């Protein structure tokens, strides 16, 4: 029986496990609990052309436009054609997507979509509902919680396993497998303002890079326009579905920020984020005006609960204080359409991977769909692998070292300054010079504390982002390089 090790407990990893659990020996490793993932935090929904007036071709066209046509067209076609079938299977298995009073699926609208095609579950708690449902289908897998994947093991050019540390006991073990799957999410905690779970520190991307796997499109980090922001700190995502329902972006004077921009408040996320930051740099405060949305608290229960928890008086002001922040990595570990990386028997699914589907700017609500599709294709490929007879494990160095690393706060501040919504070529050089003083490339991961490991991983990811952005001949999508002209308020 094939042994499969899945690193990460979000939607991509867990859906993959559902496809393999009856035919393979599957182990899921997760840094904390099964509930700790970006998938659990996803609010907006999952996009698919299931409405009779919509088509996969139109979904494909919207994805390509949002991605600045930097997408791999074959990957986009696979996404929009395979995705609806997988969602129908989930519905048949009992997944309770939100429906209208007449029982029909209730499709929402989000930025850069030409049709209402966003499915939700439990209002704005789609990610949690969908991921929990998929996890409920797992009955034949081994779970290793509180387990930190540190480094991949490579034998004769083939990935054969992963070194894992129990975060409670510190014990190191090597898990061997016929296939190892990275499902670790992105690198959102590189930035001080982020929608990402605290466990998301670029581990999968860094492990793959250290093992020699190819990375691609690392310049393309998506910044979401609307994070709940109070006193300079982020307190979670304000879903784009709210703008899809009629909310608009305004400043403290009620001036409509996106009024003169094509598609206005539903422009692609990179465009909205840049305009908001330009407005903010001119001294304005940023708000989401929800006065046009009836029954807001009923339609967006998750956001409502978060706003109430932080004592935001949105019921009276009809405003939510927001600003852009880090959201989603479009680049990552390069894969083919079967989620196979450049290292044999190493796969990557979900946000850690880059199969070319998102291009230079992810279309809203395509990420959960990609989790399903890439996991399905990975499962099909893994089932063709010939099981390995023996594995050779070597001793693991665990004597502690004390490398020179920045603090997490210093790294995040520098990354926001130089790798954020708007970049400059001078700033990229400055950032790389600053980063060059630190020891992040050299220590053996097993010799680092968990905090040091996270910082070293994020430093490595930051370097990859900066070098990729620097190599780009011009701005494209989320990699916006300000040469000399600053966008004015009108865009």
The 10s digit of each residue's pLDDT in 146-157 is 999 999 999 999
Question: Dihedral of CA 11/12/18/22: which sign?
Answer: negative
Lateral strand order in the sheet of 147-155: 147-155, 158-166, 172-176
Look at residue 258 and tell me whether its pLDDT is greater than 50. yes
What pLDDT is stored for residue 43 in this prediction?
86
Mean pLDDT of 283-295: 97
d(CA 321, CA 148): 36
CA 87 to chain centre: 20
Average pLDDT over residues 306-334: 97
> Is residue 266 pLDDT above 70, yes or no?
yes
What does the pLDDT look like over 76-94, one tens digit per residue? 999 999 999 999 999 999 9
Residue 264: is its pLDDT beyond 80? yes
* 443-449 mean pLDDT: 91
What average pLDDT does range 168-190 have in this prediction?
Answer: 96
Residue 488 has pLDDT above 80, yes or no: no
User: Strand 319-329 vs strand 221-230: parallel, antiparallel, or unpaired?
Assistant: antiparallel
Radius of gyration of the chain (CA): 22
Does residue 269 carry a catalytic annotation?
Answer: yes
Confidence of residue 395 (pLDDT cuts 50, 70, 90): confident
Mean pLDDT of the chain: 94
Residues 6+ apart with CB under 8 A from 473: none
Q: Is the pLDDT of residue 182 over 70?
A: yes
- Cα 331 from chain centre: 10
CA distance 76 to 67: 10
Q: What is the pTM of this model?
A: 0.94
Please tell me the distance from the alpha carbon of residue 371 to that of residue 349, in angstroms, as a whole number: 6
Asked if residue 270 has pLDDT above 90, the reply is no
Q: Check residue 484 and give its pLDDT.
A: 52
Give yes or no for residue 15 having a pLDDT over 90. Answer: yes
* CA distances for 336 relative to 75, 214, 370, angstroms: 9, 11, 13
**Cβ proximity of 192 and 164 under 8 Å:** no
Residue 442 clears pLDDT 90, i.e. is over it: no
pLDDT score for 393? 79
What local confidence, expressed as pLDDT, does residue 388 receive? Answer: 78
Among residues 117, 125, 243, 269, the one annotated as catalytic is 269
In the chain, which segments carry CATH 3.90.700.10?
226-324
Query: Angle formed by the axes of helices 450-471 and 203-210, to 10°?
Result: 80
Percent of the chain scoring above 90 in pLDDT: 89
Pairing status of strand 158-166 against strand 172-176: antiparallel
Predicted local confidence at residue 112, as pLDDT: 85
pLDDT mean over 173-183? 97
226-324 fold:
Flavocytochrome C3; Chain A, domain 1 (3.90.700)
Give mean pLDDT, residues 288-300.
96
Query: How far is it, in rounded angstroms, from Cα 60 to Cα 63?
Result: 5
Least confident of 106-115, 174-183, 212-221: 106-115
């Amino acid at each position: 029986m094939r042994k499969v090790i899945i690193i990460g407990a979000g939607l991509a990893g867990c859906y993959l496990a559902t496809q393999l659990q009856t035919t393979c020996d599957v182990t899921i490793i997760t840094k904390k609990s099964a509930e700790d993932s970006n998938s659990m935090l996803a609010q907006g929904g999952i996009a698919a052309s299931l409405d009779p007036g919509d088509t996969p071709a139109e979904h494909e066209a919207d994805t390509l436009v949002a991605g600045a046509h930097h997408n791999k067209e074959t990957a986009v076609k696979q996404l929009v054609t395979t995705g609806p079938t997988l969602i129908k299977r989930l519905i048949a298995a009992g997944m309770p997507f939100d429906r209208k009073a007449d029982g029909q699926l209730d499709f929402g609208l989000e930025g850069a979509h030409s049709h209402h095609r966003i499915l939700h579950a439990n209002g704005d708690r789609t990610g949690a509902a969908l991921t929990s449902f998929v996890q409920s289908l797992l009955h034949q897998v081994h779970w290793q919680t509180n387990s930190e994947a540190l480094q991949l093991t490579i034998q004769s050019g083939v990935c054969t396993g992963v070194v894992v540390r129990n975060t409670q006991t510190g014990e190191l073990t090597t898990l061997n497998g016929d296939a190892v799957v990275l499902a670790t999410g992105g690198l959102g905690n590189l930035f001080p303002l982020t929608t990402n779970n605290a466990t998301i520190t670029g581990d999968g991307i860094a492990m793959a890079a250290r093992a020699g796997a190819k990375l691609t499109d690392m310049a393309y980090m998506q910044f979401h326009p609307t994070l709940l922001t109070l006193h300079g700190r982020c307190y979670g995502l304000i879903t784009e579905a709210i703008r899809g329902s009629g909310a608009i972006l305004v400043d403290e004077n009620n001036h409509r920020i996106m009024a003169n921009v094509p598609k206005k408040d539903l422009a692609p996320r990179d465009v909205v984020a840049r305009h908001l930051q330009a407005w903010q740099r001119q001294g304005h405060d940023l708000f989401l005006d929800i006065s046009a949305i009836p029954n807001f608290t009923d339609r967006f229960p998750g956001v409502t609960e978060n706003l109430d928890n932080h004592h935001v008086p949105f019921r009276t002001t009809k405003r939510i204080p927001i600003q852009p922040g880090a959201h989603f990595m479009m680049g990552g570990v390069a894969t083919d359409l079967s989620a196979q990386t450049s290292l044999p028997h190493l796969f990557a699914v979900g946000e850690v991977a880059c199969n070319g589907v998102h291009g230079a700017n992810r279309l809203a609500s395509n990420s959960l769909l990609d989790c399903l599709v890439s996991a399905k294709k990975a499962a099909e490929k893994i089932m063709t692998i010939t099981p390995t007879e023996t594995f050779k494990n070597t001793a693991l160095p665990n004597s502690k070292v004390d490398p020179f690393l920045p603090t997490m706060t210093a790294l995040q501040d520098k990354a926001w300054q130089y790798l954020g919504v708007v970049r400059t070529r001078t700033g990229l050089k400055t950032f790389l010079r600053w980063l060059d003083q630190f020891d992040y490339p050299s220590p053996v991961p097993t010799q680092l504390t968990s905090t040091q490991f996270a910082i070293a991983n994020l430093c490595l990811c930051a370097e990859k982002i900066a070098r990729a952005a620097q190599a780009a001949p011009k701005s494209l999508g989320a990699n916006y390089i300000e040469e000399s002209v600053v966008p004015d308020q009108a865009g």
